[in-house]
Amino acid sequence: MVDRQKVEKLIRELIIEIGEDPEREGLRKTPERVAATYEFLTSGYKEDPKRLINGAIFKQETNNMVIARDIEIYSLCEHHMLPFFGRCHIGYISREGKVFGVSKLARLVDMYARRLQLQERLTHQIARAVMDSINAEGVGVIIEAHHLCMMMRGVSKQNSMMTTSSVLGSFHESVATRNEFLALINRPRIM
Ligand code: ZN
């Protein structure tokens, strides 16, 4: 658990240190709000992927490729503790007919995103968790994100988007499987 009072004290000190007045009307409750916000934004450390996924894996007859596209992602870069945000696309092929319940992949993404992260590591952790939890034949994860640390600081790179990918198992070994994944992700929406 985050010691909220301790974090509030630290934020109060930070406010003073940057030359602001923590007693000013608009800032009086800021340390409290920031402490609560950070507790939420880093709550992923306390969650266990096994417990989160448990019970939300279903059996189906075939082992077709499953795609979850455009999962919103919000995380904090570990270098600046500023947000990066974008979209995550996941594809996998099950081995034993095991598939995830629809909302579980999004919960899994949130769990790893609510930590101090590098986009590369986040991408890989999601792929690894999908792979391991259903013993998948293969997994592919792509994240496209904007980093506020690049957009807000110094040289403006407002439109830069960073793309990272992680491919495991058959997505790594088979060019055809990887291409099918990429084609499904890039396919225009039907509705
Ligand atoms: Zn950064």
pLDDT tens-place string over residues 125-177: 999 999 998 999 999 999 999 999 988 887 666 678 899 999 999 999 999 99
* Closest residue by Cα to residue 34 from 54, 14, 50: 14
CB 94 within 8 A of CB 130: no
Distance in Å, CA 10 to ligand 1 centroid: 21
Q: Which of 79, 96, 120, 173 is catalytic?
A: 79
Question: Is residue 89 among the annotated active site residues?
Answer: no
Q: Which of 8, 89, 117, 119 is catalytic?
A: 119
Distance in Å, CA 151 to ligand 1 centroid: 10
Write out the residue limits of the CATH 3.30.1130.10 domain(s) in the chain: 54-185
Distances (CA, A) of 85 to 4, 72, 147: 25, 8, 7
54-185: CATH architecture: 2-Layer Sandwich (3.30)
User: Model-level pTM?
Assistant: 0.92
Question: Is residue 80 among the annotated active site residues?
Answer: yes
Look at domain 4-41 and name its CATH class: mainly alpha
Question: Is residue 146 among the annotated active site residues?
Answer: no
Write out the residue limits of the CATH 1.10.286.10 domain(s) in the chain: 4-41
User: In whole angstroms, what is the distance from residue 153 CA to residue 3 CA?
Assistant: 30
Distance in Å, CA 119 to ligand 1 centroid: 10
Measure the CA dihedral 127/129/134/137, to 10°. 30
pLDDT tens digits for range 26-78: 999 999 999 999 999 999 999 888 888 877 888 888 788 999 999 999 999 99
Distance in Å, CA 84 to ligand 1 centroid: 8
Question: Is residue 88 among the annotated active site residues?
Answer: no
Distance in Å, CA 74 to ligand 1 centroid: 13
